[in-house]
Homo-oligomer: A and B are copies of this chain.
């Protein structure tokens, strides 16, 4: 057996390997960014399933189009127009989660050796998808307002990347929000250098108080729009188990995306698409979003207070999460990867920062998620963490 080189060059997910350790019942996981059942409108989803059964049979059971169920795409396009994006149904492809959206773009754009620019740190699943294509990943430093524009310009000039992947809103793992000013600068730079922007907006609607600035796709002028792919997902706002997300791409790229989608899985689960359609069509998304925002805002503030109370004695850098699911922590001088086994021994799990960096920097950082633990678990988990970290210094 000789597996492909592509296979052997992908680093396995640190999160996934961690899961094997988490079967121990007494370990509190602050690791995975999984939406909680408490944040999901289960009754509205059951209604959407009931309408799927009564109104869209047998279509929900048969083969559909590669692009996805057209009434669903029309509804998504209408919502997008409300956010200032110029889109119609033909510009949208339904994907099986936004992980698939990233993978379709990687397949469509990247050959082995091509440079791909990513934020440092960024989403692990994106790093893996680009690695699987043999991309040469180049990292752009970031702060709380997203990526550094000067560094981005230098990188564009030196590496001429095929694309720039970024998470502008409540980024995974840092929670950072790309400022309006930088959004405009990224658009201008990308169009000037001919670099495709892949805007992954999985978390933009999960703001706690103020919505983030408009998406790059909404801000782009006619020329810049030719350089923007927009990914979004219903995993965080309706339910992850549906594996329902979507991708908007420039016309020139679209037929390649359709072909890559066809090769990947023919089309996304029709039943998932129908449930998503009926959920949106019944107007269930706004109440579901209110519920999710309230839930995550409360969880974030519980974690924030616990971190301040318990980790306040340890020199650390954190920024309050303003949306999304994550609290990013930097502990100068502490190797968080090396400490993880001790943390699990002490009954708490987190994700070390290094795997989020394509260049494997960030050894002294870590990601906590407040998405699915209870208030008690968050308090006790952070207390256990504090014990581990203070012992490590």
Contacts and interface: CB of A to CB of B under 8 A. Distances in A.
A64 B241 contact: yes
Contacts of A227: 1
A90 interface: no
A194 B10 CA distance: 24
Contacts of A267: 243
A34 interface: yes
A108 B7 contact: yes
A287 B20 CA distance: 39
Interface stretch (A45-53, A176-184, A216-224, A381-389): A45-53
A4 interface: yes
A182 to B, nearest CB: 23
Interface stretch (A97-105, A138-146, A204-212, A294-302): A97-105
Contact of A97 (B6, B10, B133, B266): B266
Nearest to A41: B61
A42 B57 contact: yes
A313 interface: no
Contact of A63 (B12, B35, B260): B35
Among A42, A114, A268, find the residue whose CB has the most chain B CB atoms closer than 10 A.
A268
Interface stretch (A249-257, A328-336, A350-358): A249-257
Interface string A1-25: 1111111001011001000000000
B103 A264 contact: yes
A172 interface: no
Interface stretch (A124-132, A147-155, A338-346, A360-368): A124-132
B46 A7 contact: no
Contact of A253 (B3, B58, B100): B3
B42 A99 contact: no
Interface of A: 1-7, 10, 12-13, 16, 32, 34-35, 37, 40, 42, 45-46, 49-50, 52-53, 57-64, 66, 95-97, 99-100, 103, 107-112, 114, 125, 128-129, 132-133, 162, 194, 196, 226-227, 239-243, 250, 252-253, 255-256, 259-260, 262-272, 275
